[in-house]
Structure 1
Amino acid sequence: MTDQRRYTTGGPAAGGPGPRAVPRPLGVPRVWPRSFADRLTAPLPGLAAMVRAARQGTLRPAPETLPGPGELPVVTEPLPPADAAGTSVTWAGHASWVIRTGGLTVLADPVWSRKILATPPRITPVGVAWERLPEIDAVVISHNHYDHLDLPTLRRLPPDTPLLVPAGLGPWCRRRGFTRVTDLDWWETAELPARPESAGTVRFGFVPAHHWSRRTLTDTCRSLWGGWVLTGPAGHRVYFAGDTGYGHWFSQIGSRWPGIDLALLPVGAYAPRWMQGSVHTDPEEAVRACADVGARRLAPMHWGAFLLSGEPPLEPLHRVRAAWAAAGRAREDLWDLPVGGSRVLP
């Protein structure tokens, strides 16, 4: 049965916020508003801003700042094993992660393509060969921009793979043959059984972000955007922010989802600041956001793969390391992974 309730700026009309919310049923089509533009934190830059950035030469990094061979860290490692009590993360590059928790293997914003629309080819390879992936139990998508929602990658998966997506993106997925699609509003949750099934569940909470959505010239903000909080049966909690600027949502996420062990936060695509500031955190803001959500550890992402903006490709890594040290945070809690690198939560 289609859920005919509509939802407004304040989030879901029923169900309650945070980890105590009643999980939504999986795979149920829903009716959403035609536009989510009322969820925008700031006005979007228009054509004039793009022309200004192009004239300034700040849409892409200067050629002399591009890294030479071997300067960007890339490793080839086996994935950590999946078990009911453990949680691990593997950075496949850009904003793509392999998250293993509660015995499940979850892909976050999987982009295994070498090139995406209107962007130069990636400057580092994907950190995990597709053939090395185990069976995928679920996919979470933060929003529909091409560097986060890659149809050629999704089509490598069986059509019955569970997809957890933002509100309004479900019809797009179903039209492309996916049969187990669940779209959520901010603060709503869904659950999947852990492996083995007797071990409990893995909870997926969809949370707000300071961003926007568009795939064509006519669908701006027709679907929602956000991040995901994954909670395994052993209590490990991982926050995947997707794409976001800095703002008030981080403290609210930390309040409604306390005890986050690890925050996967974007640190790139921030220059020029006058154009990117409202929708992309810079490294210093990512460190502040980590504190706001109450996360002990930070794993930087959204850098070192696609040339989306004007900063030098290696600058985000140097700046996030400096900001982390300046904040007095323990060095071992900054998980500045190489592409293909993994870490396991203790």
Structure 2
Amino acid sequence: MSYVEEHGEANLIGAGPAMLADVVAGRRFREIAEPTADGSWTIRDEVLFPAVSDCFPHRLLLANSDRMRTLSQPVPMPTWPDVHRLIVQLTTTGVDVDRSAGAVARLLAAMDREGLLEPVSDPAVDLDHADVTFLGHNTVVVRSATAAVIVDPWVRPACGHYPENYQPLQLRDLGRIDAVVLTHSHPDHFDTGTLLQLPCDTRIVVPKLERETFLSVRMYERLHELGFDDITELEWWDSVQVKDIEVTALPFHGEQPTDGSQLHPDIRNAGNTYFVRTPRCSAAFLADSGRDAGGDVRQVAARARRDLGSPDYLFVGYRGWLMYPVQLLTSSVGRYLPFVPQESWGVRQRLMTTADEAVDIAEIWKAPHLVPYADGGAPWYWQMGLGPRLDEAASENPAFDPFPERVIAAAATRTKTGYGVHRSTVNVLLMRPGDSIVSGGPQPRIERMQDFAWPYGEATAEVADAAYLG
């Protein structure tokens, strides 16, 4: 960061290959990698496969809604299930709990001392009639008449910095959740603070992973440590049934160290994308997927269309994450850098799907409705540096966090010829956190929660093109 502040990011990109060569030649890099005869390197096994026993949950961080008071409390390994059950009670019913158990008693006493035992509010609204509810970023709930499945749950606390009538939804607002579906282990998808608010017997579906690696947490093992006891590892193209909802795991390509070849290609950001079908509708969730040396999400869409049919609603990330390898150092995935071969140091990488590619995928899959997601979407995200700012002071970084309206614009302008501009047949649904899809009738209806309305105005494709994309 100091180099960027002194010379600018453009200079950082130009100087990137030489800077990375200096890093690789340094003593610190030799502590994690062995040089090879061809001038490359091999990352040491103890780095590729960290000892699970050396890394386990040992501390719980709690904060009140405005983060003016915090508590960091040690939790001995065997007591996590008890602490887990306590958190569920405190965040759902708020009833009195047994204060006699050792770890629970100490935690409650500390919370009481720091003023962190707050009353539980009533649910915001009844959402049982909705087919799909979007909470923001990657978090979506799919419902049938008898079940509810939540994808990548990550809820944020209320805060006085947000508009009074537009605060983050909480898990208790969603009613009963029958199963959780997790795409991959990055912290904005695998958020243990949110998961600990769900009962220990909640069913959780995770990607199949035989062994924890430097790039992927084995969520199956970590969830058991926290007290969950109904966890299913699902391989690509396999399915599970949650009452009358069918969940099928699809391949996760992209969001790897490069969009092409990489060192140690067997060490991946392991993940699943998903096709979720209910008796009322179907939806697919592609999260941060894109393309890499092993495959392309567009190929996944083509096969899924043949094997599973077209989803009614296709949720696609649209960030692109267009970056040169040296920029990884200032990102949330800096650990990717040792996997980038030297010949790629001066080559821009596309780690996720762009807005135009999101429309491509919907067309390949023949999905009638496309929902851009997986990039924030509300002040509780952009105030922590995630996603574009969408209020009256709207701002974006198009290469990393573009406006969701860019997907509307991409669908509206697919090609330009002498006969004019041609748009896609795909309908882009712009959903704000708290919005629900209610199916039925010729077109789905986007329903806004009463007293929880998007406070920042709306943008049609034309307004987006003029005001946002100008």
TM-score (norm 1): 0.64
Aligned residue in 1 for 2:310: 259
Backbone CA RMSD of aligned residues: 3.4
- Residue 334 of structure 1 corresponds to which residue in structure 2? 428
| Structure 2 residue runs without a partner (length 5+) | 1-8, 15-122, 210-218, 258-265, 325-346, 388-395, 415-422, 441-470
- In structure 2, the residue matched to 1:229 is 275
State how far apart, in whole Å, the 1-side matches of 2:425 and 2:348 are: 32
Distance 2:424 2:177 in 1: 34
Q: Distance in 1 between matches of 2:309 and 2:365?
A: 8
Aligned to 1:161: 202
Partner of 1:311: 397
2:284 matched residue in structure 1: 239
Work out whether residues 157 and 168 of structure 2, in 8 Å CA contact, stay in contact via their aligned partners in 1: no
Query: How far 1:311 sits from its partner (Å)?
Result: 2.1
Residues 102-134 of structure 1, C-alpha deviation per residue, up to 9 Å, x if partnerless? 43121110111469xxxxxx9997642333120
Q: Mark the structure with the bigger radius of gyration.
A: 2
Superposition deviation, residue 141 in structure 1: 0.3
Contact map agreement 1:269 1:311 (CA 8 A) in 2: no
CA contact (8 A) 1:167 1:223 kept: no
Structure 1 stretch displaced more, 184-193 or 308-317: 308-317
Contact 1:287–1:324 under 8 Å retained in 2 = yes
Alignment of 1:1-346 (within 5 A): 55-56=12-13, 78=125, 80-82=127-129, 88-113=131-156, 127-168=168-209, 169-193=219-243, 201-211=244-254, 221=267, 224-234=270-280, 236-246=281-291, 247=296, 248-268=299-319, 270-272=321-323, 277=350, 279-304=351-376, 305=381, 307=385, 311-312=397-398, 315-327=402-414, 328-329=423-424, 333-346=427-440
Greater per-residue helix proportion: 2
Shift of 1:190: 0.5
**Please, which runs of 5 or more residues in structure 1 have no aligned partner?**
1-51, 58-75, 116-121, 194-200, 215-219
Amino acid at match of 2:251: P
CA-CA distance at 1:55 after TM superposition: 3.3
In structure 1, what is the Cα distance between the partners aligned to 2:198 and 2:11?
Answer: 37
Identity of paired residues, percent?
Answer: 25
Tell me how far apart the structure 2 counterparts of residues 77 and 334 of structure 1 sit (CA, whole Å). 27
Superimposed CA distance per residue, residues 300-330 of structure 1 (whole angstroms, 9 cap, x where no aligned partner): 1012335358825873323101111124235
Task: Give the distance between the partners of 2:135 and 2:308, measured in 1 at CA.
Answer: 26
Deviation at 1:269, TM superposition (A): 5.5
Highest RCO, 1 vs 2 (Cα 8 Å, sep ≥ 6):
1
The alpha-carbon distance between structure 1 residues 222 and 321, as it changes in their structure 2 partners (threshold 3 A), is: closer
Residues 282, 316 of structure 1: 8 Å contact kept:
no
Report the Cα distance in structure 1 between the residues aligned to 2:10 and 2:198, rounded to whole angstroms.
38
Structure 2 CA distance for partners of 1:270 and 1:156, relative to 1, 3 Å: same
Mapped to 2, the partners of 1:54 and 1:158 lie a distance apart of 51
In the comparison of the two structures, how many residue pairs are matched?
A: 253
Contact 1:90 1:343 in 2 (8 A): yes
